[in-house]
Amino acid sequence: MIVDLHLHGRYSQATSKNINIESLEKWAKIKGIDLLGTGDFTHPKWIEELKTNLTPQDNGILTTKNGFPFMLTTELSLIYSQEGKGRRVHNVITAPNLEVVEQITEWLLTKGRIDYDGRPIFKIPCPEFVESLRKISKDIEVIPAHIWTPWFSMFGAKSGFDTIKDCFLDQTKHIHSIETGLSSDPAMNWRLKQLDKINMLSFSDSHSYWPWRLGREATILDVKKDYSSMIKAIRTGEGLAGTVEVDPNYGKYHFTGHRSCDVCVDPKKSKELNHICPKCNKQMTVGVAERIEELADRPEGYVRPNAPKVHTLLPLQELVCNVNGIKGLGSKKAFGIFDELIKNFKSEYNILLNVPGEELNKVVDQKLTSAILANRENKIEVKPGYDGVYGEPQLA
């Protein structure tokens, strides 16, 4: 099953205000996702919507009236000082049931507010955070989110750490997996020996329900659809069948750069410039590729033995728009082509991963068929993203 456990409701900052359980279910099915995280379970308004629209099952999963499954998840921002440096780390949290969610929320209320954002901020060091959550329930899982993002992550260039142990100290033993984020993929993370026993997960961190955001990255699990089985897979790797990744160049922070000056440089050039923008002489935002080079102790191209399958895919709507010269992923013309494909082939993942070229040609022209097949084989060049700017597929 394909799962996306990191997303947000409409009470989080910079999210679509039309997100609700109904829209998430509808577009998850169109995308081909088999289970979603709820996101934002600490927010008082969102948790009430979850309770109203989802029915808890005995296996730790909540389902809609149509039977679509959700797992209780959220993301929290921890901002604090350690070793004289300001730290900003985001973590994804899973919970086995609503009772545990209530206990987590009660504890967080002793530390600050939860009502102003679906992803609230707390001045809690990561070790204390993990230890306190495990006192509530050992079934809670903490997953460091988008671990390379410059601004808010465990290894972030702006405020992160150089090792997992530096971040989580004596609680490192309870960190079993990490979220790769859009700007890195498993192969990039395999270059760090310290991550050898850490499982690689991918989720979308979606701020809307649109199919070019929801499930753009996901994890494939070959286990029963219940909480304990999925958490066991995340912790042990048993049943972790693979991930869906975008090309890391597509991510908004893959290369180093300065958006205001339209400057984007690779790690080698960035070091030559000492991270200073050649146009305005201000500090550039150090990208994920460069940060990995700083911490890697293996050469590029190293392959982890027995690693789960990695599917590198750009969202279908990116292909539709690029091939046809359409501006706007959500435009009427783009959706016309997208809807015709979905009508014939059921889901986006099925189209991207499985449908033969000769079948695609019955619905769309050869140019788009070729793009879908090239995408399936990770043969589409992507102009790197940088400093908050998405990468651009080079198809037209």
State how far the Cα of 306 lies from the Cα of 42, in Å rounded to an integer: 37
Please provide residue 271's backbone torsions phi and psi, each rounded to the nearest 5 degrees: -65, -40
pLDDT digits (tens, 9 = 90+) for 71-108: 999 999 999 999 999 999 999 999 999 999 999 999 99
Residue 396 has pLDDT above 90, yes or no: no
DSSP classification of residue 262: T
Contact 70, 37 (CB under 8 A): yes
What token pair was written down for 9? 């409701």
- List the domain boundaries for the chain: 2-249, 316-379
H/E stretch holding 55: strand 55-56
Average pLDDT, the chain: 98
pLDDT digits (tens, 9 = 90+) for 230-271: 999 999 999 999 999 999 999 999 999 999 999 999 999 999
- To the question of pTM greater than 0.75 for the whole model, the response is yes
Task: Annotate 140-176 with b (16+ C-beta within 10 A) or e (fewer).
Answer: bbbbbbbbbbbebbbbbbbbbbeebebbbeebbebbb
Q: Are strands 256-258 and 263-265 parallel, antiparallel or unpaired?
A: antiparallel
3-state secondary structure of 168: helix
H/E stretch holding 190: none
Give the pLDDT of residue 147: 98
Contact 195, 237 (CB under 8 A): no
Which residue, among 353, 357, 346, has the nearest Cα to 376 in the 3D structure?
353
Q: Tell me which of 3.40.50.150, 3.40.50.410, 3.40.50.11860, 3.20.20.140 is the CATH number of domain 2-249.
A: 3.20.20.140
State how far the Cα of 225 lies from the Cα of 216, in Å rounded to an integer: 21
Phi-psi region of 36 (alpha: psi -120 to 50; beta: other; left: phi over 0): beta
